[in-house]
Every structure is written in C-alpha cells, then in structure tokens.
Structure 1
Amino acid sequence: IQPSVQEALMEGRPVVALESTIITHGMPYPQNLSMAREVEEIVTTNGAVPATIGILRGQIHVGLTNEELEFLASSKNVVKVSRRDLPYVLSQGLSGGTTVSGTMIAAHKAGIPVLVTGGIGGVHWGGESTLDVSADLTELGRTPVAVVSAGVKSILDIGRTLEYLETQGVCVSAFGESREFPAFFSRQSGFQAPYHVQDEEEAAELIDSALGLGLSSGVLIAVPCPQERAASGQIIQEATQQALSEARSKGITGKELTPFMLQKLNELTDGKSLDSNLALIQNNARVGSCIAVVLSKRQKARRKGNLPQQGNTTPPQPVVIGGINVDFIAKAQNTVIL
C-alpha cells in the first residue's frame, strides 16, 4: 500500500479505489495516462485520496506513483486481471490492470469501501447460451465494496445484467434525478434501476447501511454520463451491432471482447464514444469522491458516538490471559469484558 494511502486509511480519511484496466485495456496511450492522472487529480480536489490499484511484477499495488502509472499505461503485454487471474499473475511475476472484480478484492482487503470505474462488466449478448457473464457481477455479490459507475457498458445485455445482479443480491441504485439506469455512453438504457438516490448524502447513507448489515455483498451506484457529453443512444446502438458482427466473424470472445468492442466503437463513432468515456469517468470520480467524503464523516461521527451504532455482526470473543510467571484464577464481576 502506497504510504499516502496507508496514512489516510490509518487516520480514517476518505480513500477512493480506482481500477486500472481502463488504463491498460480501455484507452490508447498516451490518452490513458493523461486520463489516469486527471482522474486522480479530480479525486484529490474533491477531498479524498486516490488509490489506483494495479499489479506490477507480481505484486498488488494499492496506490501508484507517477512512474508506475506510466509503466502500466505504456506497456504492451500486460494482463487483464480479474479474480480468476490473480493467483497466476502473482505467481508468475507478471504485471496487469485490475478489472472491477480484481480491484474490489484488493480494495476490500486494504479497507477501502468505495471504488470508482467507468462502467462495470455484465452479461454479454447471447450470454444465456454462452454463459459469458463478467466476474464483476459475481464479485459485487460477494465483496462488500460500493462501486460507482456509469451503469453497465452499453455493448452488453443490460436487462439480463440487472436480473443477474438481483440474483446475486446486489443493491443497485441510480444516482441523480431519475431512476433510469444509465448505459455507459448514453444516459438512457430503457431500464429502470430498482432504487434511486438523489445526492451524495443519500448514496453514503445507503452504502453505510449496507456495510453495517455485514451482508458481504456490494452496492452499485449508477451515475449517468453528463448530458452535454453523452452520446446518442441510437448511434451507439447501431455501432454496437456492427462491432458485434465483426467480433463474431473474427471469433473474438471472452476477456478480449470488451477491449475490441470499445476500440471499434471509437472508430465507428468518429471518437464520440471515447469523448463520452472520458466525460463519464471524470464525472464518476467527482461523484464517487464526494460520496467517500460523506461516508467517512458518517463513520467518524459513529466512532465518536454522534450516530447510532450499526448492529455488531461479530459475536463477543473470549479473552484468555496467561503467563508462565503468573498462576491465579480471576472471576469477572460483569459477564461482558470490554
């Protein structure tokens, strides 16, 4: 863990985890590097500490230096690392960008409750037959981290993705004025989110409640792309169908499919999709940072006794006191020893 991130965690200051697959596989160099630095700056400006998570030479890094960001952004043969890839990549001393799934695991182990990304993975078209379902969805069902994203990537089957998230027990909420579930580049998907929070305060309260319950599942906060830079839903839909046809004809599947689709969409939309991608990740960084700041304040207030305690999910543990030079039996007056 980078010292500045470790210090913030020790002091209870807000920290925002950032995934790195968007750097290694989502954008071309050097746009990916400038984007990564700008997103970290947005997080800092809004009162939180950025912690970009990546894997360098077989070691998970929580928080990256400028040199480490440059290395990931410019390297050609880095791995796209999800839950299943972690053991192999670490054992072989490889480097890679962590997906939402991989980033959630590292963030949770480091004690970071909020993660910002562009858009999560989901159920691919035809997934009911191929079972091509992103590990991001199952990770949200098993790891208690809140993910702030522009919904699900528009190249995916959004309806089935929402159904799968429900099956995984993931609390999904739209952010802002509408319950419309965003579709990454586009503000409209044609689907409604199950729930809706209007601002950072409500979002932080929702996340705080979920963490306090100890459900071991995550929360998805779906933030629409800013209106002025959102791409037309029809243009994206037409480009998506064309890119999907080309992917099928070339036999591109699995984890290679999403990077191919995003690159193809950028070509077919004359850069409009990339512009929207940059806008939404910047907006998500701002919103996610503000949520992390409010959440941190709530947690600090609870520690000071100004908020009601969440239900404690850990049962009291026995305390054993012993020493070779001490031999006596003590009986406590109270049944609970604090």
Structure 2
Amino acid sequence: MMPHVTGPVLLPEVRAALRDGAPVVALESTLLAHGLPAPRNREVADELEAVVRSRGAVPATVAVLDGVPRVGLTAAELDRVCGGDLVKLSVRDLGVAVGLRRDGATTVAATAALAAAAGVALFATGGLGGVHRGARESWDVSADLAALARTPVLTVCSGVKSILDVAATLELLETSSVPVLGFGTDAFPGFYRRDSGFPVPWRVDDVAQVAAVWRAHRDVGGGAGMVLAQPVPAADEVDAALHDRLLAEGLALVAERGIVGKDVTPALLAHFHEASGGVSLTANLALVRANAELAAQVAVALAG
C-alpha cells in the first residue's frame, strides 16, 4: 500500500535552506516536460538552476514523480522530467496524480501550490496563464489565476502570453485581489513583447522595493499571491510585425483544426516556435532566465 502523502518531499538542500532562512526559488517543470524539445530541455533545466545559484539562492524545481510531490529535484529526477511521458498537472490534478502514482509536470498553478505548501515564497516562470480569447463563450480561464488568488507566493513572470485576452486577465487579477507590479516598467509585458498595450497598476524599480511590498502584502493582503512582471530582455523581443503575423496564423490554425480548451495554448506556442525560425523560442528562454535571476535576487533581499 502506498504511504499517505501529507505534503511535498523536499530535496535535502532545499529543506536545509528553508530551515536556516536561506533564499529559495521554485521553478516549474511544465516548461521542461512540455515546452521544450529534448535534449535542449535538460540543458535548460541545468541553466535555470545555475542562474538561481549564481545570485545566491537555492533552486527548487517542482514535479510529481511516482505519485510523490517533490520540491527540489536531483539530477536523475530532472532526467526523468525531461525524458517525456509526464502528465501536465494543474492544482486539480495533483490529488489524482498522487492517488494513481503518476509522474507529472507542474503548471504555474500547481507549482505555486506545492511551493507554498513547502514554505517557498518565490516562484519564477515564463508567462502566466490567463483568460483565453472567446472566454465569454468557452469559459476558458487558466487555473493559474484562481491559484494566485489563494496561494501566498510571489510569482516572477513576463506577464501573460500575448495569445490570451490580456485586458480580461488583468481585470480578473484585480477582482481576485492579486497585486500586479511592473519591474522597471509602466507597461504590462506580453511575454514575447515588452508591452502588451496595457499599463501595470504599480511600478517597482529595485529588489528592495519588491521585498518591502511583499512583506507588507503578506501582513495585510489577505493571503493572495502577487505578480512581479518583468519584460523580456529588449535584445530578445520578437519583432511586432512578425509577432502579429504569427498570432493571426496561429489563431486561424486553431480554429481550422477545432482545437479547444487546454490544447489551445500549446498549439499556438508550437506554431510560434516552428514558424518563427526559432526566434520565439530564443525569446522564451531569455525571459525565463531573466525571471529566474530576478526571483533569486528578490529571495536574497527577503532573506536578508
């Protein structure tokens, strides 16, 4: 009989860091298992953890292996995550995966939930999920938003993917009492693009400000998480004309093939990667690295 799981299993290094009050940054595994081809995904797994370490924090990649939620992975466990055949897990799927003893890669929502359960307050990712275009008819809204509303984790990202309904996503974050900060920007980032066309409610310009805001939010924010949005590095931003063409093509392709629900975003991102000649993938990796670095700097400031 499988033992009863009462919480995530922590890598000894992560457990020791949390015990000592040292900075820790959670990293998701969906990017590795479903967002990048092998063997590049395994290289990126090491690169992201190295970026976090270079800024003085301990990385904690999150996944479910053999039905056990894990916060912090060994090299062999990262090999498994990047080897394929992992189910994509949001919060609603965690209990099922544990009960059936499955291997799964965690989305933003599931990573935030497991990080919070382990006592990790900082999480770095690429882009948030959000309200999908046409959600008035489909009700297609990412579980990431609901998770942020109830999970006390500071998520560092590059806004939401431009394939989503950005205005509706920001409105829902406001309704859910999730603060949105722009790091060094007045514009809410659009993942591949530095400016989604919408402003951020609040701007911060250094990690000391971020740390002060997060400490205050934990005291008076009612238990919700927070979004720290950082634009993709300027040198890696996807050209506006190319971006708009790829988006129009992708939306037409999705409609033509009848793709709906959770399969829409992977299909659109795959089209971006294939039709851009690698430009969008370069942008994706650049922003994820930058977000991991920023999250580590904030974690260090909070620990200090």
Following the alignment from structure 2 to structure 1, what is the Cα–Cα distance between the partners of residues 133 and 221? 33
Checking the alignment, whether the CA contact within 8 Å between 1:54 and 1:97 is kept in structure 2 is yes
Partner of 1:204: 211
Does 1:268 find its partner at 2:275? yes
Q: Say whether 1:238 aligns with 2:256.
A: no
Q: Is 1:66 aligned to 2:69, yes or no?
A: no
1:185 to 176, 188, 192: 192
Equivalent in the alignment of 1:57: 66
Matches within 5 A, 1:149-188: 149-176=157-184, 178-188=185-195
Match of 2:47 among 38, 47, 72: 38
Secondary structure of the corresponding residue to residue 156 of structure 1: coil
The structure with more radius of gyration:
1
Kept in 2, the 8 Å contact 1:188–1:233? The answer is no
Aligned to 2:229: 222
Matched position secondary structure for 1:53:
strand
Q: Distance in 1 between matches of 2:257 and 2:75?
A: 37
Following superposition, the deviation at residue 214 of structure 1 comes to 5.4
Displacement after TM superposition at 1:237 (Å): 2.1
Seq. identity, %: 42
1: distance between equivalents of 2:172 and 2:34? 25
Number of equivalent positions:
295
Report the Cα distance in structure 2 between the residues aligned to 1:5 and 1:214, rounded to whole angstroms: 27
1:81-160 correspondence to structure 2 within 5 Å: 81-160=89-168
- CA–CA separation in structure 2 for the residues paired with 1:256 and 1:78: 15
Instruction: Indicate the residue corresponding to 1:304 in structure 2.
Output: none
CA contact (8 A) 1:171 1:219 kept: yes
- Structure 2 residue matching 1:234: 3-state secondary structure: helix
Give per-residue Cα distances to partners, 1:66-97, cap 9 Å, x unaligned: 1111111112x211100111111111111111
| 1:248 aligns to 2:255 (yes or no) | yes
Work out the CA distance in 2 between the residues paired with 1:28 and 1:244: 23
Q: Structure 1: which 4+ aligned runs deviate by more than 6 Å?
A: none
Q: Could you tell me how far 1:258 is from its partner in structure 2?
A: 1.6
Scaled by the length of structure 2, the TM-score of the pair is: 0.95
- Give, in whole Å, the separation in 1 of the partners of 2:25 and 2:169: 25
Q: How does 1:281-296 map to 2 (within 5 A)?
A: 281-296=288-303
Q: Which runs of 5+ in 2 are unaligned?
A: 1-9
Separation (CA, whole Å) in 1 of partners of 2:251 and 2:41: 24
1:9 CA displacement:
0.3
The SS at the match of 1:165 is helix
Q: Displacement, 1:188?
A: 1.2
Contact 1:2/1:62, CA 8 A, preserved across alignment: yes
Question: Which whole-Å CA distance do the structure 1 matches of 2:251 and 2:102 have between them?
Answer: 30
Tell me the residue number matched to 2:6: none
AA of the residue aligned to 1:182:
P
Structure 1 residue 235 displacement after superposition? 1.5
- Shift of residue 250, structure 1, vs aligned partner: 1.5
- Relative to the length of structure 1, the TM-score reads 0.86
Structure 1's unaligned 5+ residue stretches are 298-338
One-letter amino acid of the structure 2 residue matched with residue 55 of structure 1 = V
2-structure distance, mates of 1:292, 1:237 = 36
Task: Report the aligned-residue RMSD.
Answer: 1.0
What one-letter code is carried by the residue in structure 1 that aligns with 2:100? Q
Please point out which of 7, 10, 16 is paired with 2:16.
7
